[in-house]
Structures are given as structure tokens and as C-alpha cells.
Amino acid sequence: MHKIILIIKREYLTRVRKKSFLVMTILGPLLMAAIVIVPIYLATKGNELKTVAVIDQTGIFYEKFKNTDNIKFHYLLTDISSAKSDFRKSGDYALLFIPKTEVSIPTNAILYAESNVSINVKSYIRNVMTKQVEDLKLEAKLKDLQTDKKNPIDVQDILRSVKAVVDINTIKITDEGKEEKSYTEISMVLGTFSGILIYFFIFMFGAQVMRGVIEEKTNRIIEVIISSVKPFELMMGKIIGVGLVGLTQFLLWVVLTFGIVTVVTSTFNVKGQNKHTAEQSIVQNAAKYNPDNLPLTDSTSVNKGQEEGVNQVFEALNSVNFPVMIGAFIFFFLFGYLMYGALFAAIGGAVDSEADTQQFMLPITVPLILSIVMMQYFIQDPAGQVTFWFSIFPLTSPVAMMIRIPFGVPYWQVMLSMGLLILTFLGTTWMAAKIYRTGILMYGKKISYKELWKWLRY
């Protein structure tokens, strides 16, 4: 045990001290921060003019949607089904439908579009609707207050009671005219992101294990070492050592990314927050001295809408269960890596140089690449049959399950997937140890699959 720790230490330290590790540690978070920040930046940046058709069955929001620099509204009086069928011909960017509800003040709407609706448009609509709903509520509240003058006016209570949450569902109208509920953007981004990341990590660090083994073989140091440690100890020490490097890199990325994102965006956020509290305090002050004139602020400014867009991204990010995501990532990375790492080590042991690895790499990389190729499908159908099987089958589950997890996966499926992954890891390690043990002492021999099979049965 003492020796395997020495090996792990060496494998870990020699890699962590490399310049390339430092470069990756800095570049990674910059890249990831960019992935988070760029959409936010784009959301606030004005782009081409979009027209939104509005069908307002309630009548409450008539003429309330003011045109902005990049969003134009026009109202339709037709019914929703014909509007939907005409939608594709109309050239409109989106169709906003506010259905009539039983309660007097509606709090939800449906947004139809051909593609995903930009956060900017969505948040502007949400803002206007929220504002209007809050105004209506406030009006009603004030009416109540006027009829009932006995109670003292509690401004905080009024503000609380008028607070409204407007729910906007987005539905995609596809080419075939079919409707598809569009996935929640944040789950999609997270799923794609962690799927790619886990693929990338397994590949990168698995290949490092393989290269490490080949290096020991070509350096001819292997025999010196295995005269003092067992080949299995050397193999596991290397796999674990490199795995810890991966884990360190990942954790540094998480910490640094959060750091960068927080620093860069705090400027956005602080600005928005300040304005918000300032407005609130104006409202509060006005309420104190002039209770009859409460609705002081009218429609929100375009400016505020944009800031809300930023905040919305943050809200969405905050709604993600990061401990679960990071925990699952670490588990699936670790065991996915250990499983593949053993296979990579076996390949390294069997060949003399990296050029000879091709034929053995293929069967290992196919499931990994397949799970990346299928990613788009998994995202569109995160609970479907195919996705399910891919996320259970151990060779594809690390990537497929990580894509599914942000969408919510039943516990038993996660447990099954994890259990199978651990079992497969034990199996591949056992297999790899046998191939490795024989392979590391073989030089100058082209190894075939037949040969490997023989080694397995020694």
C-alpha cells in the first residue's frame, strides 16, 4: 500500500507541475466563463428587429407592449388556431398567446416560435406582463383601501401582496407544423456542457494513462520498477494518479470559473440591483407621504428589461442544483475514467509506440464517440427509450447520464447506472491487469487480438 502511494504521488506531481497543466487550468475557466458570460452579453446586446404577434384574449395587455429598438409588437384579432397555422407565412419572430383564464388577472402566457426564443424577448414580455399584472393588483388593493379606511396602511404588506410571477411557456412550431414543447434552455446547456466535458476528460486523461505506460515501456524503466512493485500496483498507481490530476483540474476549473463569472458579472448585477432598490425606495417614500398616489412608476424602461435578462440567466443558474450536478459529474467522471483508464493502460501495455495503438483504440473510442454523436438526440428526448439504454450501458453511461441529469432522472435509474458502471470498472481493471502484466515485458512484437485473448487466459 505504501508503494502504491509513492507511485500515485509521482504520477500526480510530475503532471501537476507541467506547464501544460498550468495553461489548461487557466484556459479552462476562461473558456467556461466565456460560455456563461457570452450568452448574457448577447442577451443584453441589441440585435436585429424582431416582430412579435400578440393574441390577447384577456384584453388586459392591449397596447401595453411598447415597441423597443429591437422588438416590434402587433396585435392579432384572429383566433389562436388560425394564427398558428398562418404563423410560418407571417414572417413573425414569435406569437404570444395570452389565454383567457377563470381568475380575473392572468399570470401565464404561451410563446410560439420556430426556434428557441431569445432570452431578451422572453424577458421583455415577462417584464411587461409582470408590471401590468402588478399594476392591476395594486389598483385593486388601493380600491379596497379606499373603501376600508379604518386599518392603518402597511406599505410592505401592500408591496408583498401585489408581487406577481408570470409564467411564459415556449412552444416550438416545427417545419412539419407540429408543436413541440421546447426544452428548458438551462438544462440543455448544462446537459450538453457536462456531457462534452466528461467525454473530453475521459479521453484526455485516459490517453494520458496510455501515453504514460508507453513512455515507461520505451524508456525501458518498466522492468526496473516492476522488480520492486507488482505490475498491478504500478498500473493502478498510474491510473489513480492521473485521475487525481483530472479531479484537481476539474475542481480548479469549478472554483476559478465561479470566481471569474462572479467578478465579471458583478458589475452587471450591482447596477441592476441598485436601480431596483432605488426605485423601491422611491415607491416606499412616496407611499409614506402620499398614500393616494401610489402607482408612481409606470411602464418599465427598456433598459431595465435588459438587466432583467441578465438577472434571469442568474436566476436560472441559481435554480440548478449545483451540488448534485458536481457530485454526479465527479462520480461519472471518476468511474467512467477508471473504467476507460484501465482499458487505455492495457493498450499502452500491449503496444510499443503510440503509432501502434490505432487498431486497439477503435473499439474503445466507438462507444464514447457514439454517445457524443447521439447527444442532440438525448437532449431532445431525455426520458426516451434510447436515451435510457445509453445512460444505463456502462460504456456510454458517463456521457449519456450526465446529459440526462439536468433534466431530472429517476433515482433507481441513476443507481442502476452507477452500479453497472462500478461493476464494469472492476471487470475492465481485471482484464487490463492481465494484458498489462504480459504486455509491458514484450518488445518489438506486433500484437494481434488473438494474442491479447491468449494473455487474458494466462
Partner 1 sequence: MELFSAQNISKHFSGHTALNKVNISIPEGSIFGLLGPNGAGKTTFIRIINQIIAPDEGKLFYQGRELKPNDIYNIGYLPEERGLYKKMTVGEQAMYLSQLKGLSKQDAHKRLMFWFEKFEIKEWWNKKVEELSKGMQQKVQFLVTIIHEPKLLIFDEPFSGFDPINAGMLRDEILAQKDKGATVIFSTHNMASVEELCDHIALIDDAKVVLDGPVREIKKKYKTNTFEVSFNNYHGELASILPSAFNVTKEWQDHELRIATIQIPLDTLPNQLISAFLPHATIHSFAELIPSMNDIFIRVVTEKKPETIHQQ
Provide, rounded to whole angstroms, the least separation between the CB of residue 343 and partner 1: 23
Grid cell, residue 22, equals: 498550468
Q: Which of the ranges 215-223, 292-300, 350-358, 425-433 carries the binding residues for partner 1, by CB under 8 A?
A: 215-223
Burial bucket for residue 21 (CB in 10 Å: 0-12, 13-18, 19+): middle
Concatenated DSSP letters of 249-277: HHHHHHHHHHHHHHHHHHHHHHHHHHHHH
Amino acid at 123: S
Query: Would you say 379 and 192 are in contact if contact means Cβ atoms under 8 Å apart?
Result: yes
Name the residue nearer to partner 1 (CB basis): 88 or 230.
Answer: 230
**221 vs 170: CA distance, rounded Å:** 61
Q: Which of the ranges 128-136, 216-224, 329-337, 341-349 carries the binding residues for partner 1, by CB under 8 A?
A: 216-224
Q: What are the E-state strand segments in 43-137?
A: 50-56, 71-75, 94-98, 108-113
**185 vs 313: CA distance, rounded Å:** 10
Grid cell, residue 11, equals: 504520477
Q: Which of the ranges 114-122, 222-230, 240-248, 428-436 carries the binding residues for partner 1, by CB under 8 A?
A: 222-230
Asked whether position 324 contacts partner 1 by CB under 8 A, the answer is no
**393 vs 374: CA distance, rounded Å:** 14
Name the residue nearer to partner 1 (CB basis): 279 or 352.
Answer: 352
User: Which residues are 75's β-sheet partners?
Assistant: 54
Asked whether position 445 contacts partner 1 by CB under 8 A, the answer is no
- Residue 376: how many CB atoms within 10 A of its CB? 11
Grid cell, residue 376, equals: 442532440
Binding mask 61-100 for partner 1 (x = CB under 8 A): ----------------------------------------
**73 vs 64: CA distance, rounded Å:** 10
**392 vs 397: CA distance, rounded Å:** 5
DSSP-derived letter for residue 53 is E
Binding mask 227-266 for partner 1 (x = CB under 8 A): xxx-x-----------------------------------
By CB under 8 A, how many residues form the interface with partner 1?
22
DSSP-derived letter for residue 306 is H
Binding mask 391-430 for partner 1 (x = CB under 8 A): ----------------------------------------
Provide, rounded to whole angstroms, the least separation between the CB of residue 21 and partner 1: 13
Name the residue nearer to partner 1 (CB basis): 74 or 454.
Answer: 454
Name the residue nearer to partner 1 (CB basis): 10 or 271.
Answer: 10
Pairing verdict, β 50-56 and 71-75: parallel
Name the residue nearer to partner 1 (CB basis): 17 or 89.
Answer: 17
Provide, rounded to whole angstroms, the least separation between the CB of residue 3 and partner 1: 6
Asked whether position 226 contacts partner 1 by CB under 8 A, the answer is yes
Asked whether position 224 contacts partner 1 by CB under 8 A, the answer is yes
Query: Would you say 404 and 391 are in contact if contact means Cβ atoms under 8 Å apart?
Result: yes
Provide, rounded to whole angstroms, the least separation between the CB of residue 223 and partner 1: 4
> Which residue in 49, 221, 255, 282 binds partner 1 (CB under 8 A)?
221
Name the residue nearer to partner 1 (CB basis): 2 or 89.
Answer: 2
Asked whether position 211 contacts partner 1 by CB under 8 A, the answer is no
> Which residue in 139, 443, 445, 448 binds partner 1 (CB under 8 A)?
443
Binding site for partner 1 (CB under 8 A): 3, 6-7, 10, 14, 215-216, 219-229, 231, 441, 443, 454
